[in-house]
Amino acid sequence: MTDSGQNRTGANEPLVRFENVQKTYDGEILVVKDLNLDIEQGEFLTLLGPSGSGKTTTLMMLAGFESTTHGDIILDGRSLRTVPPHKRDIGMVFQNYALFPHMTVYENLAFPLQCHNVPKSGQDRKIAAALAMVELTGFERRRPGQLSGGQQQRVALARALVFEPRIVLMDEPLGALDKKLREQMQIEMKHIHENVGLTFVYVTHDQSEALTMSNRIAVFDDGVIQQLDGPEELYERPKNAFVAQFIGENNRVNGTVRDISGDRCLVELPNGQTVKALPVNVGAAGEATTLSLRPEAIVLEPADGDGCDDTYPAIVREQIYMGDHTRVRVEACGQDDFVIKMPRGSGARSFELGQDIAIGWRSGDCRALDAA
Ligand code: ADP
Ligand code: MG
């Protein structure tokens, strides 16, 4: 697509840079606090976070529909402060993708071209190219009502791509679709991104959606990016208790740091037990911490080869068969909601409710984070 793969400012410069960006709507509360974020040319970046965390506001400031209260946004080395939305070279897909129902697919795609003053002579080629990207060649004469939800979504994406923008912004575009279609569209969206090579910035509150599609994910909470990393890094190595909690499932156990030496710390639990953990985000000895353990990292009845540093007594409280795994809830470490995922075929066995067992884990899988 045109020269959008080239970055005019040179290979090492990001395509977009948020510099100390703040936003308040009411003059009091900062809904975006101090945002510094680089968006790389060609990446699929997702802004992920709970409702109200500032994702849409961030996207709208980039699109130019909201101003920044403080700081600046740089696109291709140029401040966007005085650049109106239609001159930013940015395509958008909204949640209620708002196709014009009385217009054909062709007319829906021609609309943004007319807004961008593209001469009529170039329209056909651009529309054909955009429809090919979303694999809807031949659908030009249909109206939105004659398309499935997924096809309408693809038309909305084609409409954002048709004027060959540098960046495509999407705000929860799959929110209206049912689960199965949404998952299918996530894969399609990822493929479309790979094929067109454009920069996608995507907003969602759905962590599995973010993990499926993104090159990098910025986890937002309360107007602040808590962590910016690739999907695997975020899941495997969350930097704080919020991220550990928001991405995937985890067991949280509060305790007090007793000792830190090298790459392990010793944490005392309220019931007097001590646990070895990886010190990720902890203060000095004596300070509170939250231990985070993924349900699949816990071993039931550990054997010698499992690499568990210690074992802890547990009482089986619940077992739920989930097909590909069994969820076992135990009482352990002073908590009654310790969840363990036993993958199918991993020597999975069943226990009696109330049975006394042992659980364990590798101390490297037990992350000591900020006290939540
Ligand atoms: P998200 O997209 O993560 O759900 P938003 O960026 O929409 O979050 O909102 C962040 C905060 O800003 C919320 O507290 C929201 O109520 C507030 N907010 C968003 N838009 C407006 C607006 N136009 N006027 C006033 N407050 C707003
Ligand atoms: Mg939003």
> 212 in a domain, yes or no?
yes
| 121 plus 155 within the same structural domain | yes
Closest-CA residue, ligand 1 atom 27, reads 25
Looking at 239, 263, 294, the residue that finishes a domain is 239
Per-residue pLDDT, 1: 39
Q: Whose CA is nearest to atom 20 of ligand 1?
A: 57
% the chain with pLDDT above 90: 79
pTM of this structure: 0.90
Ligand 1 atom closest to Cα of 220? 3
In a domain, 1, yes or no: no
Whether 133 and 224 map to the same domain: the answer is yes
Same domain as 254, residue 219: no
Report the interhelical angle of 120-133 vs 179-196 (nearest 10°): 120
Domain boundary (239, 272, 291) is at 239
- pLDDT value for 121: 87
Residues 152 and 183 in one domain: yes
Residue 166 · residue 3 · CB < 8 Å: no
Clarify whether residues 265 and 127 are in a common domain: no
Structure tokens given for 370 = 């900020």
The confidence score (pLDDT) of residue 4 equals 43
Query: What pLDDT shows up at residue 348?
Result: 57
Domain span at 325: 249-369
Q: Which of 22, 25, 201, 202 to mutate to test the pocket of ligand 1 (most atoms within 8 A of CB)?
A: 25
State the DSSP string of 276-298: EEEESS--STT-EEEEEE-GGG-
For residue 253, being part of any structural domain is answered with yes
Question: Whose atoms come closest to the Cα of 60: which ligand?
Answer: 1
Here the CATH number for the domain that contains residue 149 is: 3.40.50.300
Residue 266: which CATH number? 2.40.50.100
Alpha helix positions (H), 116-230: 120-133, 149-161, 179-196, 207-213
* Pair (201, 349) in one structural domain: no
Q: Mind listing the pLDDT tens digit for each residue in 323-354?
A: 889 999 999 999 999 999 998 876 657 889 99
Q: Which of 239, 263, 283 is the last residue of a domain?
A: 239
Please give the Cα distance from 128 to 83 (Å, whole number).
Answer: 29
Q: Which two tokens stand for residue 88?
A: 């930013």
Residue 183 one-letter amino acid: E
Spans of the chain below 70 pLDDT = 1-11, 96-97, 346-348
Bridge partners (DSSP) of residue 199 are: 167
Same domain, 256 and 342: yes
Q: Are residues 188 and 49 in the same domain?
A: yes
State the Cα–Cα distance between residues 194 and 188, nearest whole angstrom: 10
Ligand showing the shortest atom-to-Cα distance for residue 30: 1
Q: How far apart are CA 254 and CA 269, in angstroms?
A: 7
Q: Is residue 77 part of a domain?
A: yes
Residues with CB under 6 A from ligand 1: 25, 31, 49, 51-57
Q: Do 69 and 88 fall within a single domain?
A: yes
Residue whose pair of structure tokens reads 């973010």 in the numeric block: 210
Centre of ligand 2 from the C-alpha of residue 64, in Å: 16
Does 39 fall in a domain?
yes
| Count of the separate structural domains present in the chain | 2
Return the DSSP state at 145.
Answer: G
Same domain, 281 and 357: yes
Nearest atom, ligand 1, residue 58 CA: 6
In this structure, are 144 and 182 located in the same domain? yes
Q: Are residues 324 and 223 in the same domain?
A: no
